[in-house]
């Protein structure tokens, strides 16, 4: 019976950051040859195998990887059998899912996708030696002959004599340098490569004994599917313990003599960090250099650039990695620490670099002032629904007589995000109340969500509006992430049907509404882009990113004004700029578009840096009051104010842009802007409230505090509170 390779393709290779990122992990890059690590691994176990008198025969591989990387896997291997994990749960659940798909007597060879093996014939010979004991029910691992006292690998202690297959006495964790030297002196210790050969039935029995919950949840997540592409059930798989196969099975069984090891010297490296990459791939005594790199009096350095000219002079033993997203400079001996920088970089933007005093001030205001006020006074306990506004002097009073759907959706988002950020209040419960109100009061079967309701919850304007539906999708994405229970697939499907059947133009994009006189604007599309990105981040389903891509293409084709580096807001029926309103530029929207394009770039890998920087620079150049630094509501292309008022929301969008792309202005400007907001808009109002707008003379224009601005404050301040959950 041929051996079935099971290639584990998860992980993001954080110790190789920024060369390896979540968007393109190391297994999908050609680090050790002309093709990706995944492709090299698959070729290594392609039938027929060579080497030795009885080379092993392999059947087509089974790939276990992240749902996020489905397209990357298929771009490397084409049509292949896949198990896709909706969440990462370590190696034991991944292997358990593969075991659950196999016949009991099938031999499975489990191997990582991102290792380098220089001597493939030696690898095949070791596999052939392992077939016998694996067929007899042993779980066999492969121990790499150590060539130096490594501290980055775990070790396997083998018993027995000088035989091809030996009993495993124990698995040990990564040692310190002195312990590692002692291991090498004994001759009994081998590096643990994480490669295993076993019968599926043997591993299933081992899991049932040692980690039964892992196997149970993997089976539930797999369901009845066999073959093709299988996406594991998220709810079931999330409940599997996150544990490695070493901890779950190998260590307990080795104590009982049920695990064997085949020692092998096959020129192996896990390419786990920049030092390992240098040691494995350096071809000269001086440096490992890739890309446009020039050196002078430089020794033993790992140097890489994916575009910028990299010049290195007079240094030794460094890794200098220049990528579009980031640049790393570290001593090679400290390459293991790179993962900490990679983890810090996972957050969107650079708000974590703000002074702690600023971050604490923002956190305290949002958690202890704003959210409690809007939780207590912003919900109508009599009729249900979120209030449209509060008043500065008496927060319990409301000016507006209506309930706009977009405001209901924005508040659902805000309280959902508050829960995710760790607010101790009842954020999820309030979001659930809001979503229930929205679905039961505002939904019109076959027509979409209504535009406005009165205070009692009766529909008073039933038109379907694109802007409203965009925010409903955003609300659903964040409510889903917060754990609010509702039929996500049904309701997002209903919104998409409304957009595609009642609001689509037929020539790209969407009309403002289904009213006969409806026009075309860029702004609803901006919020649709925001919604699609939020939904993609919530579920990682490719069709949301595809919809986002379509909106980005509209921006590139129609919405961006390359002369003034701004956004064209209004259009005629064929996406031609409306000549009557062509000179109206809203700086706040330029900042919003910049942030959303940067988010799309992060997920898609498309280079949108030029658009992002030009939007921010353009808004800064023509859109701000030079006396205060605050953004105007609306200006002409030459910077002349058309509406010289300064609402709060453009200032929050300017802040978001400075936090996401600080290279345009510097983080010091973000810190100064936060201080200015507290000195004016937030400081001139009562606790948890704000001045919505100042006129051209710096006077407050109204005592109404719109609920819609809670959304803007949450999106601006969430990165400051917790960049990883923003």
Q: Are 322 and 367 members of one domain?
A: no
Reply yes or no on whether the pLDDT at 145 is more than 70. yes
Reply yes or no on whether the pLDDT at 348 is more than 80. Answer: no
303-323 mean pLDDT: 91
Burial of 516 (0-12, 13-18, 19+ CB in 10 A): exposed
pTM of the full structure: 0.80
Select, from the ranges 76-90, 223-237, 492-506, the one with the highest average predicted confidence (pLDDT).
Answer: 492-506
Other beta carbons less than 10 A from residue 380's beta carbon: 17
**Tokens, residue 450:** 């209504």
107-132 mean pLDDT: 92
Domain end residue (candidates: 312, 344, 376): 344
Q: What is the DSSP string of 90-123?
A: -HHHHHHHHHHHS-TT-EEEEEESS-EES-HHHH
- What's the whole-number average pLDDT of the chain? 91
Q: What is the pLDDT of residue 477?
A: 98
Last residue of a domain, one of 344, 371, 393: 344
Q: What is the DSSP pairing of strand 4-8 with strand 107-112?
A: parallel
* pLDDT, position 665: 67
Same-domain check for residues 538 and 591 = yes
What is the secondary structure of 234-287 as a DSSP string?
A: HHHHHTS----HIIIIIHHHHTTT-EEEEEE-S-EE---SHHHHHHHH--SSSE
d(CA 294, CA 290): 10
Whether residue 48 has pLDDT greater than 80: no
Q: How do 155-158 and 139-144 pair as beta strands?
A: unpaired
Strands 301-305, 318-322: pairing is: parallel
Rg value, the chain, Cα: 29
What is the rounded CA–CA span in Å between residue 675 and residue 624?
17
pLDDT at 71 over 90: no
Looking at 253, 272, 291, which one is the last position of a domain? 272
Q: Which of 359, 394, 213, 449 is nearest to 726 (CA)?
A: 359
Number of separate domains in the chain: 3
Quick: pLDDT tens for 591-643.
Answer: 999 999 999 998 888 889 899 999 999 999 999 999 999 999 999 999 999 99
Identify the CATH number of the domain in which residue 373 sits: 1.50.10.10
Asked if residue 469 and residue 411 are part of one domain, the reply reads yes
Q: Which residue has the tokens 């999708």?
A: 473
Q: Quick check: 27 and 13 in contact, CB under 8 A?
A: yes
Does pLDDT of 512 surpass 90? yes
99 shares a domain with 32: yes
Average pLDDT over residues 424-429: 96
- pLDDT score of 225: 60
Q: pLDDT tens across 667-703, in order? A: 889 999 999 999 999 999 999 999 999 998 899 998 8
- Quick one: 289 and 304 in the same domain? yes
Same domain, 180 and 228: yes
Q: pLDDT-based confidence at 664, cuts 50/70/90?
A: low
Share of the chain above pLDDT 70, in %: 97
| Domain match, 335 and 208 both | no
Q: Is the pLDDT of residue 74 over 90?
A: no
* 365 & 442 share domain: yes
Give the CATH number, domain containing residue 161. 3.90.550.10
On whether both 129 and 260 belong to a single domain, the answer is yes
Of 465, 352, 364, give the one whose Cα is nearest residue 687. 364
What is the pLDDT, as a whole number, of residue 687? Answer: 93
Domain ranges, residue 386:
351-725
pLDDT value, residue 292: 93
Residue 97 shares a structural domain with residue 122: yes
d(CA 492, CA 169): 54
Distances 168 to 188, 190, 191, 195, 711 between C-alpha atoms, Å? 10, 10, 12, 14, 58
Q: What is the Cα–Cα distance from 580 to 588, expressed in whole angstroms?
A: 21
Is residue 17 predicted with pLDDT exceeding 80?
A: yes
Residues 476 and 397 in one domain: yes
Nearest residue to 396 via CA among 412, 383, 378: 378
418 and 372 within one domain: yes
């Amino acid at each position: 019976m041929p051996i079935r390779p099971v290639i584990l393709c998860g992980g993001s290779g954080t110790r190789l950051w920024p060369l390896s990122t979540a968007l393109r992990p190391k297994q999908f890059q050609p680090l050790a040859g002309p093709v990706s690590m995944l492709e090299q691994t698959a070729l290594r176990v392609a039938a027929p195998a060579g080497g030795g008198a009885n080379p092993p025969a392999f059947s087509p591989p089974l790939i276990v990887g992240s749902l996020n990387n489905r397209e990357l896997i298929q771009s490397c291997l084409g049509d292949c059998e896949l198990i896709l994990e909706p969440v990462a749960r370590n190696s034991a659940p991944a292997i358990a899912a593969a075991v659950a798909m196999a016949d009991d007597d099938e031999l499975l060879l489990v191997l990582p996708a991102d290792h380098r093996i220089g001597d493939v014939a030696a690898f095949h010979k070791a596999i052939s030696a392992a077939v016998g004991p694996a067929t007899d029910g042993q779980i066999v691992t492969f121990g790499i002959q150590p060539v130096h006292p490594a501290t980055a690998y775990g070790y396997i202690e083998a018993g027995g004599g000088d035989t091809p297959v030996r009993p495993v006495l124990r698995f040990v964790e990564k040692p310190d340098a002195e312990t590692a030297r002692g291991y090498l002196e004994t001759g009994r210790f081998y590096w643990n490569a994480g490669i295993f050969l076993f019968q599926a039935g043997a591993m299933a029995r081992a899991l049932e004994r040692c980690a039964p919950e892992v196997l149970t949840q993997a089976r539930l997540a797999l369901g009845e599917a066999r073959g093709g592409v299988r996406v594991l059930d998220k709810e079931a798989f999330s409940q599997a313990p996150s544990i490695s196969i070493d901890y779950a099975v190998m260590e307990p069984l080795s104590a009982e003599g049920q695990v064997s090891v085949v020692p092998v010297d096959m020129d192996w490296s896990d390419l786990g960090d920049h030092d390992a990459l240098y040691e494995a791939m350096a071809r000269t005594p001086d440096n490992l250099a890739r890309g446009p790199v020039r050196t002078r009096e430089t020794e033993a350095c790992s140097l890489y650039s994916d575009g910028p000219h990299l010049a290195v002079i007079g240094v030794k033993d460094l890794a200098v990695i220049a990528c579009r997203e980031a640049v790393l400079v570290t001593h090679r001996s400290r390459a293991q620490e790179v993962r900490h920088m990679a983890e810090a970089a996972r957050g969107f933007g650079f708000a974590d670099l703000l002074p702690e005093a600023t971050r604490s001030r923002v956190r305290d205001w949002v958690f202890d002032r704003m959210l409690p006020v809007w939780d207590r006074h912003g919900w109508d306990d009599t009729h249900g629904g979120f209030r449209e506004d509060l008043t500065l002097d008496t927060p319990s009073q409301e000016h507006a007589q209506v309930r706009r759907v977009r405001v209901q959706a924005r508040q659902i988002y805000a309280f959902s995000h508050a829960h995710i950020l760790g607010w101790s209040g009842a954020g999820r419960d309030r979001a659930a109340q809001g979503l229930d109100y929205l679905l039961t009061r505002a939904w019109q079967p076959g027509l979409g969500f209504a535009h406005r309701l009165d205070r009692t919850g009766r529909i008073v304007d039933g038109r379907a509006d694109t802007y409203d539906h965009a925010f409903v999708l955003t609300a659903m994405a964040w409510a889903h992430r917060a754990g609010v229970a509702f039929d996500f697939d049904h309701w997002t499907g209903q919104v998409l049907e409304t957009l595609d059947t009642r609001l689509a133009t037929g020539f790209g994009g969407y009309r403002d509404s289904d009213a006969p006189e409806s026009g075309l604007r860029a702004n609803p599309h901006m919020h649709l882009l925001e919604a699609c990105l939020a939904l993609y981040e919530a579920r990682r389903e490719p069709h949301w990113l595809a919809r986002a891509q379509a909106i980005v293409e509209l921006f590139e084709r129609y919405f961006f004004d390359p002369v003034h580096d701004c956004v064209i807001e209004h259009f005629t029926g064929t996406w031609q700029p409306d000549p009557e309103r062509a000179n109206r530029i809203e700086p706040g929207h330029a900042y919003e578009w910049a942030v959303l394009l940067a988010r799309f770039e992060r997920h898609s890998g498309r280079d949108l840096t030029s658009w992002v920087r030009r939007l921010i620079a353009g808004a800064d150049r023509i859109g701000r009051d030079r006396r205060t630094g605050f953004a105007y509501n609306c200006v002409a292309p030459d910077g002349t104010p058309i509406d010289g008022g300064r609402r709060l929301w453009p200032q929050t969008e300017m802040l978001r842009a400075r936090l996401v792309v600080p290279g345009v202005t510097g983080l010091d400007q973000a810190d100064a802007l936060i201080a200015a907001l507290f000195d004016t808009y937030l400081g001139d109002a009562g606790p948890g409230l704000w001045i919505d707008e100042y006129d051209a003379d710096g006077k407050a224009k109204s005592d109404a505090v719109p609920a819609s601005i809670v959304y803007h404050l949450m999106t601006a301040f969430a990165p400051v509170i917790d960049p990883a959950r923003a």
